[in-house]
Structure 1
Amino acid sequence: MRTLGLGAQWELFERFSFVQENVEPALLLLDVQARPELQALWAALEAGALLVTEALDVAGADVAQQLRTGNLSPARFREQWEGLGFTEATGRASTAADDWLEGLLRISRITTGQDRPPFGQVNMASRAQRISDFLTTTRPGRSDTVYDLGCGNGKFAITVAASSSARVKGVEYGQSYVESARRNGERFALPNLEFIHADVRDVDLSDGTAFYLYFPFWGEVAHAVARMLGDVARARDITVYASGPRHDYGEHFLEQVSQGALCLAPQRHAFADVMVLRSAGFV
């Protein structure tokens, strides 16, 4: 099992987890009573799941150790996951780069079953290709502070912090998400990473130079955040990378364009739902 790559291990882990999470114990007991040979089959499945989990632990611990000791530089870390590619696997809504990152971080693509605040969204982990595009678009360096607004479990924030020298701050309203992100971040001991448990409207964003939003909220929260970013844009040169629909989300950022705080970069076909905005006064 340990000879498999981290991404392949994660794919197996997700398959085992899907089966385990969708079997009703009471119904399984009835099946075993009717067909005793199924007990051995279920035991083999659980043993396989344990082997995959142990292999993931070892592979993840190895990468974490390399990051903690500095043996894996930000540039090399970025090359490692980007180099796996962003081609979606047949029959799976995933890519090799996503499998590697999510296996390393042990973060599922979609997290449900947790309370959402008013105007908040279900936590969806950012796709690796989008993280790569953000890094290419903004080129964050040592003098930059990147905010991940509505960071969820922290896939984007941790990946960017490990892939660059920029200061990265993840802001999240959901306490369980923040706790999960902090536990994950502590494994890698990244000195440039911080998670803030707060309503984004109560956070001072004035030190930010780049802001990432993966449709984390809508309505009046999105309106308030767009106004806050417009105020920051009037004072300093910033880049806003906002992904999501125009209605009741993107329109609030476009309002800041019409008011002269931000300007909108040309839309790109590969990222049709992404708005890249920059401080109008500094362009």
Structure 2
Amino acid sequence: MPTSPTPRAAPWWVERAETLLDTKDLRTMGLGALWELFERFSFVKENVESDLLLIDVQARPELQALWAALEERALSVSEALDAAGDEVTQQLRSGVLTAAHFRERWEGFGFTEAEGRASTAADDWLEGLLRISRITTGQNRPPFGQVNMASRAHRISDFLSLINPGKRDTVYDLGCGNGKVAITVAASSSARVKGVEYGQTYVESARRTAKRFALPNLEFIHADVRDVDMSDGTAFYLYFPFWGEVAKAVARVLGGIARTRDITVYASGPRHDYGEHFLEQVSQGALCLAPHRMDFSDVMVLRSAAFA
């Protein structure tokens, strides 16, 4: 007697799709929750190749309806996310949402790590508003550049608390990627903010995002950081954007600025082939190193030694 063929196991995405379709009413969800849901939909759609999907549907025709429902629901989530973000955007553009209130709003969501996710409620809200994924590979990345990994909200909050930037300040975000830090700092303060980025696709993305908010105190510079005149800067933010000779050159430039004016450098990254170049400026008397803080052990806060 011939044996029956072994039933083909359901593709990995089926269970995820069924779970995503069984979510609550989008009208009851806030901006951060919508972003978290949007990313979950995006993960499934981006990781199911069209050729493999065709094979799945040929083996189990009923999956065609499931995939169609998934795409329709993903579109609804995207539209709801746009609507929630547009509301905040209009408040920023009109001045109804001041810089202080904007900062209070995103910080108010908190920095507790979500279970099973490398994110917090504050990050979900900011990234949903900006439509910026935390990790992007981008294009045109130089040999000395990192894969873009957006800074966590807790780190941005720490930077703002330490610097307390005002109208007389110019903040540089060096290696700004898609612009999460630069846009958030510009919307949360009255300081002039300049994001510097080598990757063209990153800069274009950051400029598109910034254009929505029409922040007069924000600009993005597409350039090799070594070619940028940063002499007007009072605060510099670096989240391990580069290493080697570029890190050494930037540290040397910042050390030179520190000898002429009072600046603060907020540099996060490993000591080897990155932090060591800033510490060299400390040993040469240009910068002084502030004490480490337990929550940010990878951060070096450096200030002009002559003005300390």
Q: TM-score range by the shorter chain?
A: over 0.9
The whole-number CA distance in structure 2 between the counterparts of 1:56 and 1:255 is 46
The whole-number CA distance in structure 1 between the counterparts of 2:28 and 2:132 is 22
The answer on 1:190 being equivalent to 2:247 is: no
* Alignment deviations for residues 122-180 of structure 1 (CA, whole Å, 9 cap, x no partner): 11101000000000001000110000000000000000000000000000001110000
Q: Which amino acid aligns with 2:261?
A: R
Using a 3 Å threshold, how does the CA distance of structure 1 residues 5 and 73 change in structure 2: closer, same or farther?
same
Q: Which amino acid aligns with 1:137?
A: L
Paired residues for 1:139-218 under 5 Å? 139-218=164-243
Q: Which amino acid aligns with 2:286?
A: A
The whole-number CA distance in structure 2 between the counterparts of 1:205 and 1:16 is 41
The answer on 1:254 being equivalent to 2:242 is: no
The answer on 1:52 being equivalent to 2:77 is: yes
Q: Of 88, 94, 109, which residue of structure 2 is paired with 1:63?
A: 88
The answer on 1:273 being equivalent to 2:298 is: yes
Structure 2: any 5+ residue segments left out of the alignment?
A: 1-25
What is residue 28 of structure 2 aligned with on the other side? Answer: 3
Q: Of 102, 125, 128, which residue of structure 2 is paired with 1:100?
A: 125
Q: Displacement of 1:113 after TM fit? A: 4.9
Query: What SS is found at the alignment partner of 1:67?
Result: helix
Q: Of 98, 110, 117, which residue of structure 1 is paired with 2:142?
A: 117
Q: Which amino acid aligns with 2:101?
A: R
RMSD: 0.7
The answer on 1:232 being equivalent to 2:257 is: yes
What is residue 263 of structure 1 aligned with on the other side? Answer: 288
Identity fraction in percent: 83
The whole-number CA distance in structure 2 between the counterparts of 1:106 and 1:249 is 30
Query: What SS is found at the alignment partner of 2:27?
Result: coil
Q: Which amino acid aligns with 2:262?
A: D
The whole-number CA distance in structure 1 between the counterparts of 2:80 and 2:91 is 17
TM-score with structure 1 setting the length: 0.99
Query: What SS is found at the alignment partner of 1:2?
Result: helix
Give the number of the structure whose alpha-carbon radius of gyration is greater: 2
The whole-number CA distance in structure 2 between the counterparts of 1:170 and 1:125 is 13
Q: Displacement of 1:31 after TM fit? A: 1.3
TM-score with structure 2 setting the length: 0.91
Q: Which amino acid aligns with 2:164?
A: R
Structure 1: any 5+ residue segments left out of the alignment?
A: none
Q: Of 9, 12, 15, which residue of structure 1 is paired with 2:40?
A: 15
The whole-number CA distance in structure 1 between the counterparts of 2:241 and 2:146 is 6
What is residue 105 of structure 2 aligned with on the other side? Answer: 80
The whole-number CA distance in structure 2 between the counterparts of 1:269 and 1:113 is 32
Q: Of 39, 43, 61, which residue of structure 1 is paired with 2:64?
A: 39
Query: What SS is found at the alignment partner of 2:259?
Result: helix
The answer on 1:30 being equivalent to 2:48 is: no
Q: Which moved more, 1:113-122 or 1:201-210?
A: 113-122
Could you list the structure 1 runs, at least 4 aligned residues long, displaced by more than 2 angstroms after superposition. none
The whole-number CA distance in structure 1 between the counterparts of 2:84 and 2:39 is 16
The whole-number CA distance in structure 2 between the counterparts of 1:28 and 1:219 is 44
Query: What SS is found at the alignment partner of 1:27?
Result: helix
The whole-number CA distance in structure 1 between the counterparts of 2:41 and 2:256 is 48
Using a 3 Å threshold, how does the CA distance of structure 1 residues 191 and 113 change in structure 2: closer, same or farther?
closer
The whole-number CA distance in structure 2 between the counterparts of 1:113 and 1:29 is 28
The whole-number CA distance in structure 1 between the counterparts of 2:261 and 2:227 is 20
